[in-house]
Amino acid sequence: MIWLAWRQMRSATFVVGISLGLLMAGLLVSGAIIRSDFTRMGIGSCLADPTRAGCDPTVFAFQDRYLPLTTFLAWLNVFPALAGALVGAPLVARELEQRTHLLVWTQGITRTRWLFSRLGEIVCVSLLAALILTAAFSWWHGPLDQFQSRFNAGVFDLEGMVPLSYTLFAVALGIAAGAFIRRSVPAIAATLAGFLAVRLPILLWARPYGFQRPVVVTWDPFYAHTQRASNADWILSDGQWVDRHGQHVGIGTVFNTCASGPTDGGYSFYPGDPFTQCTHAHGWLIQTIYQPADRFWVFQGIESAIFIGLAIALLALTLWWVRRT
């Protein structure tokens, strides 16, 4: 049965392997360039001691050149969905469409065994590809991690365990959709839609607010020109004015009250200046809401557990369904 599973996956594995190889080559070359620039431009020592002379322009130049690449690489997020749609969905659906299930389900093995073998092979190959991609991305992104939070959507989703859990979920969803819908193309569409239907609410709501209550801090700009959160934290909201009781104060109220005279389109905003003296006198504070950087692995764990749990449920459902008929 392993022979058959491999024989039927052979061409797909070749295509995936070749695309993966090209992608890896690109990551390897650009990653090496980023690393050599990081060393050559002395970014490491600048980050260690930000007060050093001439550091700011260098660091900005480095960021300007390489941080946009992160946005570009966010395209790697489509990998799990593609694996689910193109490898998962046809697994059962294609057999049913071409009626070869009548051939393979009436040889000397049970349907359960057939499904386990085919499913096992597909899951293993997809997870292996996801693992390689994740490792390559993490290595590639290493130098850039120091400029932005690892919670950024283009980073969190591509590092650690979550890419593997997304892949497992998408493949399981694809297999289940193919088995229930029985036709490849609608199953592919359902897989993509279903994947987004789970992935987006978790990305947009559960991760920022649902897993753990975010930290809320208030600070008085009269004393310090700083937020309490650091660059590495995941800042969800920053700049909301509140009064002493934590009630929101509209930004219009604040500026109408405290910004005296012509504005020239901007306000000075330094500790102790007239503007901050005024806000201080009214007892107005600025609120920052964020998830601390050290929750990275907790969030990775929670999110992975959700997707792995869903994947196992879907695979169990598929097994029951395929055996039932």
Give the residues lining the site for another protein (CB under 8 A).
1, 3-4, 7-8, 98-100, 102-111, 324-325
In the complex with another protein, the residue whose CB is nearer, 110 or 256, is: 110
Q: Which residues contact 289 (CB under 8 A, 6 or more apart)?
A: 214, 215, 216, 235, 236, 237, 238, 240
**Distance of alpha carbon 38 from alpha carbon 5, whole angstroms:** 45
Minimum distance of another protein from residue 91's CB (angstroms):
14
Minimum distance of another protein from residue 127's CB (angstroms):
25
Minimal CA–CA distance to 242: which of 278, 292, 282? 282
- Coil, helix or strand for 259? coil
Handedness of CA 142, 147, 152, 153 (dihedral sign): negative
In the complex with another protein, the residue whose CB is nearer, 95 or 157, is: 95
| Contact assessment for residue 285 and residue 241, using Cβ atoms and an 8 Å cutoff | yes
Q: Which CB contacts under 8 angstroms, 24+ apart, belong to 240-244? A: 240/286, 240/287, 240/289, 241/279, 241/284, 241/285, 241/286, 241/287, 242/218, 242/284, 242/285, 242/286, 242/287, 243/282, 243/283, 243/284, 243/285, 244/283, 244/285
In the complex with another protein, the residue whose CB is nearer, 97 or 145, is: 97
In the complex with another protein, the residue whose CB is nearer, 8 or 134, is: 8
Minimum distance of another protein from residue 322's CB (angstroms):
11
Minimum distance of another protein from residue 100's CB (angstroms):
5
Q: What is the DSSP pairing of strand 215-219 with strand 234-242? A: unpaired
The identity of residue 42, as a single letter, is: G
Minimum distance of another protein from residue 112's CB (angstroms):
9
| Contact assessment for residue 162 and residue 307, using Cβ atoms and an 8 Å cutoff | yes
In the complex with another protein, the residue whose CB is nearer, 20 or 104, is: 104
Minimum distance of another protein from residue 67's CB (angstroms):
46
**Distance of alpha carbon 296 from alpha carbon 228, whole angstroms:** 18
Minimum distance of another protein from residue 5's CB (angstroms):
10
- Coil, helix or strand for 97? helix
In the complex with another protein, the residue whose CB is nearer, 94 or 282, is: 94
In the complex with another protein, the residue whose CB is nearer, 225 or 323, is: 323
